[in-house]
Amino acid sequence: MTITYLEADGQEFTQTYATLFENAMKVLGGYQSYGLKKGSQLVFQLKSIEAQIICFWAGILGGMVPAILPLAQDEKSRAYLQSVLSALDNPIIISDLEGVTTLFENNLLMFRTLAESSPG
């Protein structure tokens, strides 16, 4: 069984369910190494569809509360994201966008770092 991802740039990528599970467990290990636990709120600012699916399942496997939101790319979408974040209790932002660090320095984890973690 496989999953096929179609990224925004038109690239197609296929992954087995076993590989998805393995990658999600690594990201879960990353979440846990940063002290996240059951009930932690995760807000995704991920450009990659593959990263969104992996991070989502990592959160589900860890009993966390994942939320995939549209990318904050302009003032209107940044204001929307800020309003969502202010309504949550200490949310953690997960991103694969290098420039987002200047917008949300607090409570930000980068996907690349999480994906290199030991399995949770």
Averaged pLDDT of the chain: 90
Judge whether 53 and 20 are in contact, CB under 8 Å. yes
Nearest partner of 40 among 3, 105, 90, judged by Cα: 90
Q: Which pLDDT score is estimated for 100? A: 59
| 103 pLDDT more than 60 | no
pLDDT tens across 18-38, in order? 999 999 999 999 999 999 999
Q: Which pLDDT score is estimated for 101? A: 53
Please give the order of strands across the beta sheet that includes 65-68: 65-68, 41-45, 92-95, 108-110
Q: Which pLDDT score is estimated for 8? A: 83
- The CA distance from 86 to 76, in Å, is 15
More confident residue, 110 or 99: 110
Judge whether 85 and 92 are in contact, CB under 8 Å. no
